[in-house]
Structure 1
């Protein structure tokens, strides 16, 4: 099993600022966006302005 680290993902969902915590392997924007898409499912929601940082 790969080592994961807790990250906070800040993003906009349909223009509304939101944040989520996720266990990610590398903390890249691509990995974070994939985690958000999995969380929100296959909807017409627009995910934008994704930024990732390690949780404190």
Structure 2
């Protein structure tokens, strides 16, 4: 054992609009907050001029 603790994550679905186009992604998040989901989407889409809006998070089935 290395002594590292692993954060507990849950699979969520993130519904959002990217440049006014409806999209969704699945992500493993710790808390499932809108802020955490937005950070995951920004990491996924990188540093672009894309506009991410209408972020909604729910547990995946």
Question: What's the TM-score, normalizing by structure 1?
Answer: 1.00
* Cα distance in structure 2, aligned partners of 1:55 and 1:38: 20
Does residue 8 of the first structure (1) align with residue 13 of the second (2)? yes
Corresponding residue pairs, total: 56
Structure with the greater alpha carbon radius of gyration: 2
* Cα distance in structure 1, aligned partners of 2:49 and 2:37: 18
Question: Which ranges in structure 1 are unaligned for 5 or more consecutive residues?
Answer: none
CA-atom RMSD in angstroms: 0.2
Choose the corresponding residue for 1:22, options 23, 27, 30. Answer: 27
* Aligned-pair CA distance for 1:45: 0.1
* Cα distance in structure 2, aligned partners of 1:53 and 1:30: 13
Question: What's the TM-score, normalizing by structure 2?
Answer: 0.91
Deviations 1:2-56 (A, max 9, x none): 0000000000000000000000000000000000000000000000000000000
